[in-house]
Structure 1
Amino acid sequence: MKEENELARWLAGEMSEEELQQFRQTPEFATYEKIAAYSATLKAPEFDHKKMYRDVISRPKKVTKVIPMTTWIFRVAAILVIALGLFFGARNFTTSDQLALNGKTTAFTLPDNSEVVLNSGSEIEYKKWNWSNNRQLELNGEAFFKVAKGKTFDVNTALGKVTVVGTQFTVKNRNDRFEVECFEGKVCVSSKDGKLFRMLEKGQIVVFENGKSITATATNGDKPLWMQDGIRIISLPLNDIISEIERDYAIKIDNKLLLSSQKFTGVLPKNDLETAIKILGESYGFTYAFDKKDKIVLTQK
């Protein structure tokens, strides 16, 4: 700001002799002097008043269109309505995904107020658009459904399909295993290969694996065991059981054992990892050690 004031006073010839001497010593003075000398040679063009008047008179008049304020507001409002419509429409057309990470469960509500709980390591996809006319779910993993009264929808999996009306049930789709258990009402179960078609009522369960039915007893309750701190195992080999524990506890199990074809049926705790491993160790004859907080190593006795 000081330099600008000094430049202005110099150009106006208002500096004293002493100030002028000091100003000439500044590094910028040579540049200022060149600019002033060049500016003095510039000459503004002569202004022809008569020509300007003729040009203005002969120039065609433009009609200015005045847009009323209310019209402008309505246009902006219309644009906002269209934009919001596109936004919400796109959101409803897209697929909704629900995921339960290992060691976690996820609960959510469908557009018809039916309730869903996803077990660990499971995922569901569905579309909100036109849900009232096309209730379709894609399940990968395990989930509990509490369907709103009078409502119906289909649960599709890679291994089979479940059609329900106002009921409570679970569906499990893991590897080649397809399990459905009914806790209320009725469910219709059909496999992809057409080998299974059955109507289940309250207190009934069906387990289907590699085209064959497996005998199982339904849970004596109104909810699956995995919602009550239990892991239910129905005729599974050790490696599949290890996968269940890894999902439910969000840990890694290093199996140093030989593959075992022996199958286990029973209930393991979902909130006590060491007890669950001990039960399996007694059944399969192995010892275990915690390598890290989230890793267990199994070795043969």
Structure 2
Amino acid sequence: MSRDKIWHLFSRKLANEASIEELHELQQLLEDNPTLFHEMEAIEQLWNSEAQEDSDYLEATYHLHYEKMKKLGIEPKHIDEPELEPEKINISFFTPKRKKAIAMVSLFAVTVIAFFFIKKPSAEESALTADVAAAPKEVATKNGVSTKMLLPDGSTVWLNAGSKLDYTRIGKSGNREVQLTGEAFFDIVKNPERPFIIHTSKIDVKVLGTKFNVKAYPDDKTVETSLVQGSVEVFVKNRPGEKYLLKPNQKLVLLNNAEADVLPKATVNKSPKFPIIAIDHLTYRDNDTMAVETSWMQNKLVFEDEAFAEVARKMERWYDVRIQFRNRSLEDELLNGDFRKETLKQALDALRITTDFRYKIEDKTVLIY
């Protein structure tokens, strides 16, 4: 039943008809059925492609797989479409996008079934498989949404809101390299002969097998690598020849602005007056076994002594809103917070208890006075 529900919700997602609640439900169901993730990704890539629809080709492809299944002794039951009187057809339900989504999901299901019974693919099919393998592989999340995915090498990645992961250069053999924009938690399968490398705009992180978090949002003040288990090597791109080895419960913090590119080289330093590169310990709150740096994985928005401007960026991604400061002096106010199921209004009201400010919510924009 859950698999049927997944395909139904996925069809609605492709047709841009799924509600926020349905998208969250789809995400939760996929976490219980991770094997379907890459199949849906392939369909979504075809769906988003700009190629013109070739109805003759689709029809021929369907009949080709149908005949192969018959030869293998698998003859699907033919379902005749019921004759409907014109006035009984629900026009709004059978929109063009929905028809296309249902057709693509149905065609893909037939193809998957045929695949498992065809042991020796033809040369044409092998070439098609090679083309698909070489195609760009990318997962992106919108603000307000996070996701979990399984990479081809068996490693697991949790992608935070407003993030993007390109894993074109990773497979079951060869290189293991990904490009990250935003934030992700990695649980990497250990393979000493194939190091795993995460590239960001400012740093590269090299690992053999470990659990760690990388935060590399372009508009954040810092880029951070937080190590939970194992070991990682961090290479700073504007400092050739330098690398930093992290131990469990340590994090590397790098200033994420133009000044870091022009300031002279410096040794590791965590002074607030010279925060180019700093190595510090992960932050744990009382009675909490998960570090603040990775609390987002438990659907918690947590911050400790962070400037209001930085907190605002986190809240923008968390609640999918835009926050504007009309009183710029508030941007440097230090805030503490721990939000789970609170609404945007409840979170802002809680912050007002310790900080003197007023706010106004206009659609998806929050004005801070």
TM-score (norm 2): 0.54
Question: 2:358: which partner in 1?
Answer: 287
**1:112-168 residue CA offsets vs partner (Å, 9 max, x unmatched):** 110000000000001256552211100000000001133630000001011112110
Question: 2:179: which partner in 1?
Answer: 138
Question: 2:158: which partner in 1?
Answer: 117
Tell me which of 254, 261, 283 is aligned to 1:208. 254
Question: 2:133: which partner in 1?
Answer: 92
CA distance in 1, matches of 2:228, 2:345: 30
| 1:116-195 to 2 correspondences below 5 Å | 116-127=157-168, 132-150=173-191, 152-175=195-218, 176-194=221-239
Q: Which region of structure 1 is more displaced relative to structure 2, 233-242 or 195-204?
A: 233-242
CA distance in 2, matches of 1:243, 1:198: 28
5+ residue gaps, structure 1, are 1-76
How far the C-alpha of 1:239 sits from its partner, in A, is 3.1
Question: 1:239: which partner in 2?
Answer: 309
5+ residue gaps, structure 2, are 1-117, 261-275
CA distance in 1, matches of 2:196, 2:239: 20
Question: 1:39: which partner in 2?
Answer: none
The structure number with the bigger radius of gyration is 1
| 1:34-49 to 2 correspondences below 5 Å | none
CA contact (8 A) 1:249 1:270 kept: no
CA contact (8 A) 2:212 2:226 kept: yes
Task: Describe the SS at the equivalent of 2:122.
Answer: helix
Tell me which of 312, 325, 341 is aligned to 1:271. 341
Tell me which of 231, 252, 256 is aligned to 2:322. 252
Q: Which region of structure 1 is more displaced relative to structure 2, 154-163 or 280-289?
A: 280-289
CA distance in 1, matches of 2:317, 2:170: 32
Number of aligned residues: 222
**1:71-111 residue CA offsets vs partner (Å, 9 max, x unmatched):** xxxxxx9xx71221121101111220011111111111111
Task: Describe the SS at the equivalent of 1:95.
Answer: coil
Task: Describe the SS at the equivalent of 1:285.
Answer: coil
Q: Quick check: which one's strand share is greater?
A: 1
How far the C-alpha of 1:214 sits from its partner, in A, is 4.6
Q: Quick check: which one's helix share is greater?
A: 2
RMSD of aligned C-alpha atoms?
2.9
CA distance in 2, matches of 1:144, 1:116: 6
CA distance in 2, matches of 1:130, 1:146: 16
Identity %: 25
